[in-house]
Amino acid sequence: MSDHKIEAANLDVLKNRHSSKWRRFPEDVLPMHVAEMDFPIAKPIQQRIITMVSESDLGYLGPIPEVASSFSKFAKNRWNWTIDESQLKLAIDVGVAVVEFLRANNASNTKVIVNSPVYHGFWEWLGELNITPVDVPLNHDYSLDISGIEKEFASGVKFLLLCNPQNPVGKAFSKEDLTALANIAKKHNAIVISDEIHAPLTYKNETFTPYLTCGPDAEETGVCITSASKSWNLAGLKAAFLLTQSENMRAKVELMPQATHWRASIVGAFAMAEAYENGETWLESTLQTLDENRHHLKNELQRIFPNVKYQIPEAGYLAWLDVTSWNLGEQTVATLIKHAKVALVPGNDHGPEYTNHVRFNFGTSSELITEGLTRIARALSS
């Protein structure tokens, strides 16, 4: 636990940031869309980057056992997961790792299962390979629809792109669900690509289960793809990795081009190692702030928009809001940008039928959460 509270910078400071969050929309729009947090970067990571820059240490990325050794300790400590350090392969980001893994394993022009509502990037990545997404939506309680998935495996679909914990609903799937998924994947000779990028942001009383800890069938069928970029707010640094736990799956990762490793950023890769090695104190403090924020959002919604439905997430800083009561339909986000000066992510980016939802980023200060909702309320009542 940390004795230092992590707090978001104020709006005037944030507006000077150069990232997409702060540049995509005009200055008077409050950006609560893209998954970036408004907190300062962890000190050990800052120091690592400063040292690399000041020592002009910015060449191509070579061997970096530090990622495997630091993640190994982190995974053991956090999830009691013993990884095989020899089966970790670097990549530039999670998106590229997923696309290149699918490409190397002949998935182009085939079908891949996704479970909506799910991160909009998934739909875009599959589009890059002309893959048809086969949607097996989550159940009402956000658990996996195992029998629905099995039906698709049985019909010949060979891949499932899993998001655990799930963006946008913040669900950390149960060990039972994941084990059942592994059993049916093995039975039908299918592969589970498990995007676990939000996992370190699982809240204290919730349980994140890595897919590869769900027994021999999971090891035989799974590849975990992840990065420190989401939990430590390093998306612009560009480093991620793939991890397997069987010779069968190692061989499938080995089909990817060797350049998958070299294309990652040296700064990003060492920052990622630093995050796993020395970033846990910052992570705990950030989780405390986010925990307050997820409840603050709940309270503020009850006060300002009692008809908006929101289930507090088990992980991450994204809130999935059912805003049917706003009555704005497909135009919800465009209308809010124009009239409320607040940017959210459209629900139907996460699956075509979610036009009455929005994704709201609460990785900021409680003041800006309230400000965003207040702006929306003002616009809706005018």
Residues that bind ligand PLP (CB under 6 A): 35, 93-95, 119, 121, 163, 167, 195, 197-198, 227, 229-230, 235, 240
Nearest alpha-carbon partner for 272 in 230, 215, 221: 230
**Cβ 163 to ligand PLP shortest distance, Å:** 5
CB 161 within 8 A of CB 113: yes
Q: Return the structure tokens found at 176.
A: 């039972």
| Closest to ligand PLP by CB, 270 or 305 | 270
C-alpha to C-alpha distance for 212 and 216, rounded to whole angstroms: 8
Left (φ > 0), alpha (ψ -120 to 50) or beta: where does 56 sit?
Answer: left
**Cβ 55 to ligand PLP shortest distance, Å:** 26
| Closest to ligand PLP by CB, 113 or 328 | 113
Q: Return the structure tokens found at 42.
A: 């962890």
DSSP states along 34-56: SS---SPPPHHHHHHHHHHHHTT
| Closest to ligand PLP by CB, 5 or 262 | 262
| Closest to ligand PLP by CB, 146 or 224 | 224
**Cβ 119 to ligand PLP shortest distance, Å:** 4
At position 302, the amino acid (one-letter code) is Q
**Cβ 364 to ligand PLP shortest distance, Å:** 15
- What residue ranges in the chain does DSSP mark as E strands? 30-31, 88-91, 111-114, 132-135, 159-163, 191-195, 222-226, 240-243, 309-310, 318-322, 342-343, 345-346, 357-361
**Cβ 34 to ligand PLP shortest distance, Å:** 7
- Could you tell me the CA-to-CA distances from 286 to 32, 92, 346 in Å, in that order? 18, 25, 26
Q: Return the structure tokens found at 101.
A: 């893994």
| Closest to ligand PLP by CB, 119 or 173 | 119
**Cβ 113 to ligand PLP shortest distance, Å:** 15
| Closest to ligand PLP by CB, 39 or 305 | 39
| Closest to ligand PLP by CB, 237 or 340 | 237
